[in-house]
Amino acid sequence: MSGIEFVRVTKRYGGAGAPLVIRGVDFTVPRGTLTTILGPSGCGKTTLLRMVAGLDSPSSGRILIDGRDVTDQGPAERNVCMVFQSYALFPHLSVIGNVGYGLSVSGVSRDTTAQRARAALAAVGLEGYEARMPGELSGGQQQRVAVARALVLEPSVMLFDEPLSNLDARLRRSMRQEIRDLQQRLGLTVAYVTHDQSEALAVSDQVIVMNTGVIAQTGTPRELYERPGSVFVAGFMGEAMLFDGVAQDDGTVTVGPLQLRASQPVGAGRVKVAVRPEAWSIAREGAGLPGRVTGCAYLGSHVEMNLQTALGAVFVVSPDVDQNWRIGDDAVLLLAQRGVSIVVA
């Protein structure tokens, strides 16, 4: 059974003449899984999330939650909770007041409210912080309060709107793991909006890549990274360089002097080949694509290099940090099978 289902949803802000922000979207989020909605800013991902929440209503199409049509219902009726990008903690209420707010306005008794709010705070590791005001917490703690505040209502769907964008890099990594753990422990259905592809890869069961109001591709993180269906997805899911290639009838693809086998079936003709920078292997000599080093940066765990080749400029990430490359050195590039995908031109 699906937790969230969108059926041909469109959205425009303003009158009938206004342009569509969401141009017909269908997807399902299976129950108990975490789906990330990924895309560049302005692609409509937050609008999509707000329509799940009921903060915006679609211009056409239906939205189902747990199989029930909620298109015409307000946010309070949907059994959905949301963690806002700004956290939106009520600054005039204490931590426990914030977490208990949803229960209190639903008419739950004072004692039960306090008890359940405490339990929710414990679940996010914030015992002892009940009396603090939100302004007295660090960013990560505020984030946890926001999560606890949503959790306490035991919603059937939890929504996260770029929940980590206000945290520093180290905290971001640990918080995303906490959210993922919590989701798996409680079996929550979660829709999660982000523009950070590594975050999406790390936490998701399913990733929906949005572009200009439509879904570019849906799939598991591995599918999207290794078999991007379009130039856009290839470029957005990590770095990739595009090269012109020609596909033969037998399924081999020629890129300049290089030959490779397509991992997915392609028709004969001109194609684009997306190559991840770590798919190249680089050697001093041998067969392959010859080139000359034009830039080289040592980054501790790996080396980033720019080379000038017959295919143009090529960006390479090599794990071999012991090789002492210099600008002007001659080199030969080879392609591995992983990290190369044929996309429609």
Partner 1 sequence: MTVGLSHRFTRTLAVWLALGAGAFCLLPWYFPQELSLLQALAGAFDGPDTASGLVQAVRHGRSWLWVAAIALTIGATALRAPASRRQGGVLVAGALIGLLGVLGAAFAIGARGWTWSWAQTLFGELAVGQAGIGIGGAVVLVALLIQLAAGAARLGAFRGDLFIAGAVVLSAALLALFVALPVGRALTGAFVDDSGQPSVAALFERLGSERLWGLACLGGGARCGVAWNTLFLGLLTAIGTTALGALIALLAERGPRRLARPLNGLALLPIITPPFVVGLGLILLFGRAGLVNQALEWAFGITPSRWFYGLFGLWLAQLFAFTPIAFMILRGVVQGISPAMEEAAQTLRASRTRTFMTVTLPLMKPGLANAFLIGFIESMADFGNPIILGGQFSVLSTDIFFAIVGAQYDQGRAAALALVLTLFALVAFFLQQRVIGRAGYATVSGKGDAGLPMPLPDPVRRLCLGLALPWIAFTLVVYGFAFAGGFVRTWGRDYTPTLAHFTTAFDVQWGEFGLVWAGTAWNSLFTTVKLSAIAAPLCAALGLLIAWLLARTRFAGQRGFEFGALLSFAIPGTVLGVSYILAFNVPPFELTGTALIIVLCFVFRNLPVGVRAGTASLQQIDKSLDEASMMLRAGTATTLRRVVLPLLKPALVAALVYSFVRSMTTVSAVVFLVTAQTELATTYIIGRVGNGDYGVALAYCTALIVLMSLATLLIQGLVGERSLGRRVALR
82 binds partner 1 (CB under 8 A): yes
Is position 91 an interface residue for partner 1 (rule: CB under 8 A)? yes
Q: Shortest gap between Cβ of 233 and partner 1 (angstroms)?
A: 30
What 3-state class would DSSP assign to 135?
helix
Select from 64, 119, 133, 262 the one that contacts partner 1 (CB under 8 A): 133
Each residue 276-305 as x (binds partner 1 by CB under 8 A) or -, in order, gives: ------------------------------
Number of residues that bind partner 1 (CB under 8 A): 34
Dist. CA 143–CA 149, nearest whole Å:
10
Rounded to a whole number of angstroms, the minimum distance from the CB of residue 234 to partner 1 is 34
Bridge-based pairing of strands 2-12 and 80-83 is unpaired
27 closest CA partner among 218, 212, 211: 218
**Is residue 76 a contact point for partner 1 (CB under 8 A)?**
yes
- Span near partner 1 by CB under 8 A; candidates 34-42, 146-154, 173-181, 188-196: 146-154
Judged by CB under 8 A, does residue 89 bind partner 1? Answer: yes
- The CA distance from 326 to 294, in Å, is 8
Question: Is 87 among the residues that bind partner 1 (CB under 8 A)?
Answer: yes
218, 228 Cβ separation under 8 angstroms: no
CB of 94 to partner 1, least distance (A): 9
Q: Which residues contact 187 (CB under 8 A, 6 or more apart)?
A: 32
CA dihedral in degrees (213, 224, 186, 45; nearest 10)? Answer: -10
Q: From the list 39, 134, 213, 229, which residue makes contact with partner 1 (rule: CB under 8 A)?
A: 134
Give, rounded to a whole angstrom, the gap between the first and last alpha carbons of the chain.
37
Cα separation, 99 vs 124, in Å, equals: 12
Mask 19-58, x = binds partner 1 (CB under 8 A)?
A: ----------------------------------x-x-x-
> Given the complex with partner 1, which of 55 and 332 has the nearer CB atom?
55
**Nearer Cβ to partner 1, position 106 or 259?**
106
Site for partner 1 in 97-126 (CB under 8 A): 101-102, 105-107
- Least distance between partner 1 and beta carbon 14 (Å): 11
Distance CA 323, CA 319 (A): 10
Closest separation in Å from C-beta 281 to partner 1? 44
Residues 1 and 63: beta-carbon distance below 8 Å: no
* 225 closest CA partner among 235, 210, 212, 216: 235
DSSP code at position 19: P
Q: Which stretch binds partner 1 (CB under 8 A): 133-141, 192-200, 226-234, 271-279?
A: 133-141
User: Cβ neighbours of residue 308 under 8 Å, at least 6 residues apart?
Assistant: 291, 292, 294, 314
Query: How far apart (Å, rounded) are the C-alpha atoms in residues 88 and 50?
Result: 15
Q: How far is the CB of 25 from partner 1 (least distance, A)?
A: 21
Residues that bind partner 1 (CB under 8 A): 53, 55, 57, 72, 74-77, 80-82, 84-92, 101-102, 105-107, 132-136, 142, 149-150, 153
